[in-house]
Structure 1
Amino acid sequence: MKHWIRLNWIAFQRTLGGIVRAPLSSLLNLLVIAIAAAFPLGFYLLIASAQGVIGKLPVEPQLSVYLRTSVTADEINTLKQHLQADTRLAGVRFIGKDEALKQMQASVGSGDLLAGLTDNPLPDAFVLTAHTDASPESLEALQKELTASSGVDQVQLDSAWARRLQQLIAVGKGLLQIILVLLAVALVLITGNAIRLQILTRRDEIEVAKLIGATDAFIRRPFVYFAAMQGVLGGLLACAIVWGARTWLNPAVEALARSYGQQFSLALADWRVVVVTLVVTTLLCLLGASLAVGRHLRQFR
């Protein structure tokens, strides 16, 4: 056991020594690994941030039907019965002008805002909820039918955009999976190429070690440690890059969201995301190192 620990400690020291002797090339390798890992990490955090906001949006397609100010009670009742009998609608809710005024005063937080008006300027309205499987064509046809109805001033289709946004997030998730696969292959190739260059520069040393009886495990160990250190440090640097980009972009993103009356900010990676990033980058680097070392060790036999 002590002998095994001693061999691993020697390999670890040799790895550190190699990094110290070539700091520039080691730093360049770390930057390449970090940038490759930062892309999917940042894209994942962007999707997670957007998905958190979209989860609060209504996904059922809704239509707001605003009535004319001259509409009569009979016309309202007739339209209500017609809407309740429509099989395309899952819910019908009538909002009178007085109720709408109260909701508006509550939302702005001031009861004196409309005190100077002699009449209520808000119209009566219906809020219609369509079935979730309703097609955009059927919703547009319903919108045209209601616009032509007696007493109707305007019909606005509200929540269809939320469903489109959800579909866009689904596309983003698929794109994230493709990026993860491509960058995983890139990390394996990058690490394998770095290990291959190290093996070529130490070829004479490896040949002498094989002649005096060094095992494959002894020769492989420093390269494995180097790949593991590159993976861990590259993952940490990737998290730092994403954190810096988030800190730089967040004020502009929050200001843009506020201009649309929304609250949105880019999410910060928690410790679990950081751990997963470190584990994945380390495993990919180890895979690249194992492939490169195994291929070259077979040439020394």
Structure 2
Amino acid sequence: MSRRPAQPPPRGARSRRPRSSSRLRGWARHHRAMCLDSALRLVRRPVGSLLTMLAIAIALVLPATLWLTLDSARLLDAELEESATLTVYLEPLVAEAQAARIDEALVAHEDVARTRLITAAEGMAEFQQALGLADALGRLDENPLPASVVVTPVDPAPEAVRALAERLETMAGIEEVRLDLAWIERLRHLAELGRRVALALAVLFGLGVLLVVGNTIRLSVESRRQEVEVVTLIGATHAFVRRPFLYSGAWYGLGGGVLAWGLLTVGSGWLAAPVSALAASYGASFSLPRLGLSGSAILLVCSTLLGWLGAWIAVSRHLAEVRPR
């Protein structure tokens, strides 16, 4: 049985795959060449490039500093919320044994994390020590202070704490429940104000970065106007013409991000000792926040994207004005 000879594939089908792969390789080679060429152009003008990157860095330092400060304030806010407590005052005629049973009932409550019982004698001792009136208060015939229980709620949210206080007031032997949530609400309002201020400054300084990069790229387009006219005349696309300037903007943004990271690191190290000494004078321990690995990556990515976007806006605006003569 004879076999029919295999038919050769059509010429177009045979050459389609090599042509597409060669286009992809050419596209990658051009990207690599433009990336290297734009970096070399910045190196050939070190002073101007450094000044542009420094302007970008200064525009990025303040929003990044506010972001770090708000992040540390958020952690402090969480710690303070965890310390939110209620003070449960027992009735004056409640004996210590009954106060202990009330404390056990409060501990068993599902919305109570922990409690601390303060008997009338312990309350008087703390009061005398705080005011320094041990002799005067010691002359009293009887202790006027009632026993109290300091309650730490499971949920420190103000709404949950208020609901817990209302439920505890209905228990037998409890005369009054006091809570002070004003400082938590003030702290939340300050944190929200700080977040909005940081966001507004980030937007404003981000626009500043776009203007700096855009003006620099605009001057670069004008200096290479004849080159752009020639490649446009021979049929180059806008993407082809725009590519080297986009890489230049990305390099400017990346360099500005690196300088901003360096300024933040040096500034944090320079202020670390005075801040720690000031916190220690108040009996607290506090250290300046640092960017860390994720924060550094976010800063560099954002600065690079801002540089790229500023270059894209500038080139897109001026590319239509560049016409072959």
TM-score when scaled to structure 2?
Answer: 0.65
Matches for 1:61-210 after TM superposition, within 5 Å: 74=93, 95-96=118-119, 99=122, 126=148, 132=158, 160-210=182-232
> Does the C-alpha gap of structure 1 residues 93 and 215 become closer, same or farther in structure 2, counting only changes over 3 Å?
closer
Alpha-carbon deviation of 1:186?
A: 1.6
Gaps of 5+ in 1: 67-72, 81-89, 104-118, 135-155
| Equivalent position amino acid for 1:196 in 2 | R
Alpha-carbon deviation of 1:128?
A: 6.4
SS at match of 1:55: helix
Alpha-carbon deviation of 1:21?
A: 2.1
Instruction: Work out whether residues 58 and 159 of structure 1, in 8 Å CA contact, stay in contact via their aligned partners in 2.
Output: no
Other-structure match for 2:29 = 6
| Equivalent position amino acid for 1:37 in 2 | L
> Which structure ranks higher in relative contact order (CA pairs < 8 Å, sequence separation ≥ 6)?
1
Instruction: Work out whether residues 53 and 264 of structure 1, in 8 Å CA contact, stay in contact via their aligned partners in 2.
Output: no
Other-structure match for 2:71 = 48
> Does the C-alpha gap of structure 1 residues 75 and 177 become closer, same or farther in structure 2, counting only changes over 3 Å?
same
**Structure 1: distance between partners of 2:158 and 2:35:** 59
**Structure 2: distance between partners of 1:185 and 1:269:** 23
Gaps of 5+ in 2: 1-23, 100-110, 127-137, 139-144, 161-177
Matches for 1:215-294 after TM superposition, within 5 Å: 215-294=237-316
SS at match of 2:80: coil
**Structure 1: distance between partners of 2:88 and 2:269:** 43
**Structure 2: distance between partners of 1:59 and 1:30:** 43
**Structure 1: distance between partners of 2:43 and 2:60:** 24
Are 1:35 and 2:58 an aligned pair? Answer: yes
Are 1:57 and 2:64 an aligned pair? Answer: no
| Equivalent position amino acid for 1:269 in 2 | L
> Does the C-alpha gap of structure 1 residues 287 and 183 become closer, same or farther in structure 2, counting only changes over 3 Å?
same
Other-structure match for 2:44 = 21
Instruction: Work out whether residues 93 and 128 of structure 1, in 8 Å CA contact, stay in contact via their aligned partners in 2.
Output: yes
Instruction: Work out whether residues 120 and 148 of structure 2, in 8 Å CA contact, stay in contact via their aligned partners in 1.
Output: no
**Structure 1: distance between partners of 2:86 and 2:274:** 32
**Structure 1: distance between partners of 2:297 and 2:61:** 14
> Does the C-alpha gap of structure 1 residues 3 and 65 become closer, same or farther in structure 2, counting only changes over 3 Å?
closer
Instruction: Work out whether residues 53 and 255 of structure 2, in 8 Å CA contact, stay in contact via their aligned partners in 1.
Output: yes
Percentage of matched positions with identical amino acids: 38
**Structure 1: distance between partners of 2:264 and 2:147:** 47
SS at match of 1:57: helix
**Structure 2: distance between partners of 1:182 and 1:52:** 26
> Does the C-alpha gap of structure 1 residues 255 and 101 become closer, same or farther in structure 2, counting only changes over 3 Å?
farther
**Structure 1: distance between partners of 2:125 and 2:265:** 44
SS at match of 1:299: coil
| Equivalent position amino acid for 1:222 in 2 | P
| Equivalent position amino acid for 1:295 in 2 | R
**Structure 2: distance between partners of 1:278 and 1:224:** 16
> Does the C-alpha gap of structure 1 residues 256 and 216 become closer, same or farther in structure 2, counting only changes over 3 Å?
same
Alpha-carbon deviation of 1:61?
A: 6.5
TM-score when scaled to structure 1?
Answer: 0.69
**Structure 2: distance between partners of 1:97 and 1:265:** 40
Instruction: Work out whether residues 62 and 127 of structure 1, in 8 Å CA contact, stay in contact via their aligned partners in 2.
Output: no
> Does the C-alpha gap of structure 1 residues 14 and 58 become closer, same or farther in structure 2, counting only changes over 3 Å?
closer
**Structure 1: distance between partners of 2:322 and 2:238:** 10
Alpha-carbon deviation of 1:19?
A: 0.8
**Structure 2: distance between partners of 1:276 and 1:295:** 28
Alpha-carbon deviation of 1:296?
A: 1.4
**Structure 2: distance between partners of 1:262 and 1:101:** 28
When Rg is computed on C-alpha atoms for both structures, the one with the higher figure is: 2
